Structures are given as structure tokens and as C-alpha cells.
Structure 1
Amino acid sequence: MNDFPFFPLDDEPCVGIFWSYQNAIFHAEYSPVTQGMITTISVDYKVGHYAAWFLMQKKGILDRLPPSYRSEYDSIPRGRVVYLFRKKKFVIYHGDDFTIDERSEILSRFSLPPEWTIDDVDMHYNPLPEDFKF
């Protein structure tokens, strides 16, 4: 992992997942990048949205949402922060309604250096439309 510059322990950037609700970060889970899951192309968070949603439900975190948004992990916008080896950048993947305020909050919570962080719209992170049929 020699691609990483030295960071003081308190400032180590993190990888993780998050959800947005009403243009604010509703919930975020993250770990220092040096403790992330290494893949062939990136460092990622060890837990996916689906599993985290189930645990959030058990802990009562979802009770802060209106009942119609509590059943599925993809009912509200979500995103992910990873470190890409090739780009030597952190990437915030998010849906198309991601705001500047949400970006600022993710930079702060995840201790991401702005100069080493890019963001990318990925339609996967948009909530499914209510009329979507499998």
C-alpha cells in the first residue's frame, strides 16, 4: 500500500458507504483506508449497502426515516467512497442528485483531502423508481 502518502493517524482518509435523505447525509459508515478491503483495482469498504441496511434496521437507525422509505436499502440515494490505485485518488460514487453540501459533508466525515478526491455520478446509487418492475 505504498501508494498512500503519510497521514497523521487522526487525519487518515476513509473508505465507506453512505445514504442521503432530503439533501443531507442520513447515515455513513467508514473505516480508515489502511483497514479497507483491497481489491485488484481499489481499496473499498468491507460492508455493502444491503448488509448495512439490515443492521441499521436492527439498531433502529431507520426509524428516523418515514415508514415508506424503511423497507429497501435502495429507497433513498446512496453512495460509496473508494480509493482507486490507478488514479491515485479517492472517488465518491453517488447518484445524480448529490449536492455540494453533501459532498462537503462526505469530505469532512471521511477525512478526504479535496485535492485527492473526485466524484462520479453512477446511476446505480439512485433510488429505484416507485414504479420499477423486475
Structure 2
Amino acid sequence: MTTATETFRGARDFLLAHREDYTTACAGFEWPRPQQFNWALDWFDVIAEGNDRTALHIAEEDGTEVRLSFAELSERSDRVANRLRARGVGAEDRILVMLGNQAELWETALAAMKLRAVVIPATPLLGPADLRDRVERGR
């Protein structure tokens, strides 16, 4: 566990311990200020290690469901991050993501965080003019 992870976990635990004592929670809480912190790497992946609990549950109107555990989502986002990195994506690069509410959307979002890349979300319903606008505004 990284120092950043421990710092954030300590802050979370403090708030949980004082969740029914608002005055103490407000008076004693300080936002962690680590030198570096990557939520996907320093928080999600730490929680995900060996964790078979459900992290993502997508229920469709037609009754189909997708469930991924924390460990599965972490591993799948690692694969996406490695593919993006192999194609030259890195910190502060923009990635236009045009997916519906599906597992790949969340895998890609975590992968982008791991690379420190920026996701430009786009619905699959956008037409060419709207897509051009998203790309232009995302620069």
C-alpha cells in the first residue's frame, strides 16, 4: 500500500468513525494532500487486489446483466491501459470515448486514469458535426 493510499484511507476512516458527530468530523477532518495520487492506481487497484466483490453491475432493460468484480475490473482496465500505452497514449493525452453504459466504458475510464489521460465522453448518438465539436473543444 502506498503512502498516498494510507493517507486517504486514514481520512476516510476518520470520517466514518465520526459520521454521526458532524461537529467533530468537520473540526478534525483535513483533506489529504499527497505529493502524487492516482485514484485508479493508489485507491481502486489497492481495494481490487484479490477482491471478488461486485464493483460494476449493469442491468439492461432486456434483463441481461453484466457483473464484474473489483479484481476483474482492475485487471481488464490494466489490459486497456497497456493497449493504449502501446499506441502512444500517455499523461494529458485526450481520448474520445464513444460507448454506451457498458463494461468497456468503465474499463476505459479506469485505464485512462491509470495513464493520466483525459477522457472526452461522447454518446454513440452524436452525429458528425457534434463529434467534430467535441474533438475541437477537447483540445
**Pair member with larger Rg:** 2
Smaller-chain TM-score range?
under 0.3
TM-score calculated relative to the size of structure 1? 0.24
Greater relative contact order (CA < 8 Å, ≥ 6 in sequence): 1
Larger helix fraction of residues: 2
TM-score calculated relative to the size of structure 2? 0.23
